[in-house]
Amino acid sequence: MNRPDVVLCDYGAGNLRSVSAAFARAGATTVVSTDPAEVLEAPLAVIAGVGHVESAARGLQQVAAALRERAARERPTLGICVGMQLLFDESEEGGRGLGLLRGPVRRLRARRVPHMGWNSLELRRESVLLEGLDEADVYFAHSYAAEPTNGLAVAEVDHDGRIVAAVEQHALAGVQFHPERSGSAGARVLENVLRWSRNA
């Protein structure tokens, strides 16, 4: 059996079917897995989903060591929505993340929570993930967001204040929005991610 292009980490929740379908439309083969060896060796590992950070972190325990080893080896890993939050240290929602990126995850201070709907990306620095997507509209559905340190943010949006929409550091990347629900802009994100992982 050929190795898939993408391993989606299965933590028992989330929207893995729609994310898998979006990657398939971008030309990738995917598998959903809790096997640490598969997660470690995949060209691209993806932590996707929705839900509560604490329960998601518990569900990821089986592959957490493999994800940390991927980061140490600089093998590409993408977090989507809650998956991006799990890359960070800890969350006000409860529980600790993987600690691969520095910074807390805090509840939004906006008047309207949850943040649901479309916003235009504002790029803050050059980005492999978001190449060609400055001012693109993407879809959000969340109540918490990462507040990264050390200039990790590559894009923000305005929702009663600034929210970090995407981060990159070495072989780690995260998007707070849902590419699988963001039309042509989301498809471009996934194409960029796949190209990045194939060139790593």
Any domain includes 157:
yes
What the block records as the tokens of 169 is 């550091």
Residue 177 lies in a domain: yes
DSSP state of 4: P
Q: Is 6 exposed, middle or buried (0-12, 13-18, 19+ CB in 10 A)?
A: buried
Q: Specify if 171 maps to a domain.
A: yes
Q: Are 106 and 94 in contact (CB under 8 A)?
A: no
Residue 1 lies in a domain: no
44 inside domain:
yes
Active site residues: 81, 178, 180
Whether residue 57 lies inside any domain: the answer is yes
pLDDT tens, residue order, the chain (200 aa)? 588 999 999 987 767 999 999 999 999 999 999 999 999 999 999 999 777 888 888 889 999 999 999 999 999 999 999 999 999 998 998 878 999 999 999 999 878 889 999 999 999 999 999 999 999 999 999 999 999 988 899 999 998 889 999 999 999 999 999 999 999 999 999 999 999 999 98
For residue 86, the domain's CATH number is: 3.40.50.880
Q: What total number of domains does the chain contain?
A: 1
State pLDDT tens for residues 135-166.
999 999 999 999 998 889 999 999 888 999 99
| Domain contains 146 | yes
> Nearest CA to 143 among 107, 109, 169, 176?
107
Contact by Cβ (8 Å): 144, 105: yes
* Length of the chain in terms of residues written: 200
Residue 190 lies in a domain: yes
Domain extent, residue 17, equals 6-199
The Cα angle at residue 125 between residues 122 and 128, in degrees rounded to 5: 95
